[in-house]
Amino acid sequence: MTPQASEPVVLRAEGDHYLDPWLTPQSDTMQGIITEAIYQLEKYEKVYGLRKRKRKTADQASMEQAVTALICAATVHLLSQRPGGLKVSRSHRTLRKDRYKTPIHSSKLGHFLNVLIAPEIPWLNQVLGVQTSASNAPVTTITAGERLINRIQEHGITREDVIRGEGGELIELREPKGTRSESRGKLMNYPETNQTCAWRRQMQEINRFLMKAELSIEGAVGTDIWDRRLRRVFNNGDLEQGGRLYGGFWQPMRKAERFRHLRIDDKPVIELDYGQVATTILYGRNGLEVPEGDLYAIEGKAYPRKGMKKVLNALLYTSEPLTTWPKDTVDLFRDPDSGEHPPFRDVKEALIKKHSSISSSFETGEGMRIMFLESQILIDVLETLRSEGITALPIHDAILVAKGHEGLAKKVMVDSFLKVTGVTPKVTLEYQAQDS
């Protein structure tokens, strides 16, 4: 009797996902499906009197681009077996006419969606966002509708029928966060310089290399392995703050999922991580030797390492005096029996004393400038490994490489860090997920 194959694991099982507006048809068959959707949208408008005259050339192109983006994104979402829906905002407040404009930034997007979900031509399904006290910018979600699903099945459409174009800004600059509850600042425009052009070309080359890489997921569904586009995000309205790389299907995956399912060149992945990176960079930037041992440990105290890391990083990133526990930190210090914890002042003063030679940078917001140096180091690592033909997938201050390349990857990480900071970093290797 033939054993039954186990069901594939569904990755990223929670929540909705942002719609990628830069997907386009790769095949004539997929283009034919989009052409049909556009034709039926226009016919629906005519039958129900929604338009009285032909669109101007620019408006026609805008409509066709929006429909193409919506149909391609819904197709990829279905084929990838992702749970949830695709987030898209119908609000005119999100419209842009600057470098961040996308094919779905149209004042008519709501109209296009209303037609494409019509029961007469159900190309899409839609769940309208609901405005609440916690969110004054509700986000609508869409999925493939009955007609699109039928066309995908009838024509045997696969992920190879849709490709991601090179459109979209790769160098993002964000404003300072308005409130503590905001997860990130709003996108802001910036003047083009030789430096921003060079960074953009660098990101284009990295992305082109990643699109050719042999990446695969084994024994799991629910993610799109062609979602490989990375962008560089700067913070606080300053192109010398932040600069980390975001994007790529591997970043939202849990560490255990990467080790279990992700393959590079058909090989399991190894994670290489810079240890105690922000504090180490700060020592190097000030021309100081990094103290021996664990930078989070306090002699004679059994403070939890995870908690000490959070407090030290908070001291580096805040620009105001830190007078209370950082978010989600105090419980790490509680005694499991009594529930008591040390005074925050004692923990803070212990870290300031331990790192007295760099403590003048605490509570000055220096963390984002340190992150900029970290991002420069990571990009140098990616570029050096790319010159050797080695695929490296970045995760902020860490990379993933195929098993067998970890030796060279570690050397490159050490050399790049030393070149930028003048000090030798700790680089740890992990072969499998550890209990968190």
SS (H, E, C) the chain: CCCCCCCCEECCCCCCEECCCCEEECCHHHHHHHHHHHHHHHHHHHHCCCCCCCCCHHHHHHHHHHHHHHHHHHHHHHHCCCCCCEEECCCHHHCCCCCCCCCCCCCCHHHHHHHHCCCCCCCEEEECCCCCCCCCCCCEEEEECHHHHHHHHHHCCCHHHEEECCCCCCEEEECCCCCCCCCCCCECCCCCCHHHHHHHHHHHHHHHHHHCCCEEECCEECCCCCCCCEEEEEECCEEEEEEEEEECCCCCCCHHHHHHHEEECCEEEEEEEEECHHHHHHHHHCCCCCCCCCCCCCCCCCCCHHHHHHHHHHHHHCCCCCCCCCCCCHHHHCCCCCCCCCCHHHHHHHHHHHCCCCHHHCCCCCHHHHHHHHHHHHHHHHHHHHHCCCCCEEECCEEEEECCCHHHHHHHHHHHHHHHHCCCCEEEEECCCCCC
Q: What is the mean pLDDT of residues 23-31?
A: 97
Question: Please, how many CA atoms are within 13 Å of residue 382, restricted to the half-sphere of its CB?
Answer: 27
pLDDT band at 354; cut points 50, 70, 90: very high
The whole-number pLDDT of residue 247 equals 95
pLDDT surpasses 60 at 136: no
Which residues, at least 6 apart from 130, have a Cβ–Cβ distance to it below 8 Å? 138
pLDDT at 428 over 70: yes
How confident is the model over 208-265, as pLDDT tens digits?
999 999 999 999 888 999 999 999 999 999 999 999 999 999 999 999 999 999 999 9
Q: Reply yes or no on whether the pLDDT at 334 is more than 60.
A: yes
Answer whether residue 131 shows pLDDT above 80: no
Point out which residues pair with 247 in neighbouring strands: 230
Average pLDDT of the residues in 280-288: 96
Residue 182 has pLDDT above 70, yes or no: no
- Beta-carbon contacts of 69 under 8 Å, excluding residues fewer than 6 positions away, are 19, 21, 22, 23, 102, 103, 104
Contacts of 360 (CB under 8 A, 6+ apart): none
Dig out the tokens for 335 from the structure. 């005694």
Tell me the mean pLDDT in the region 139-147: 95
pTM (predicted TM-score): 0.90
In this predicted structure, the answer to whether residue 274 has a pLDDT above a threshold of 90 is yes
Name the nearest CA neighbour of 69 among 107, 38, 100, 40.
38
Confidence of residue 10 (pLDDT cuts 50, 70, 90): confident
Tokens 């009797």, residue located: 1
Domain residue ranges of the chain, discontinuous segments joined by +:
1-168, 170-295+355-436
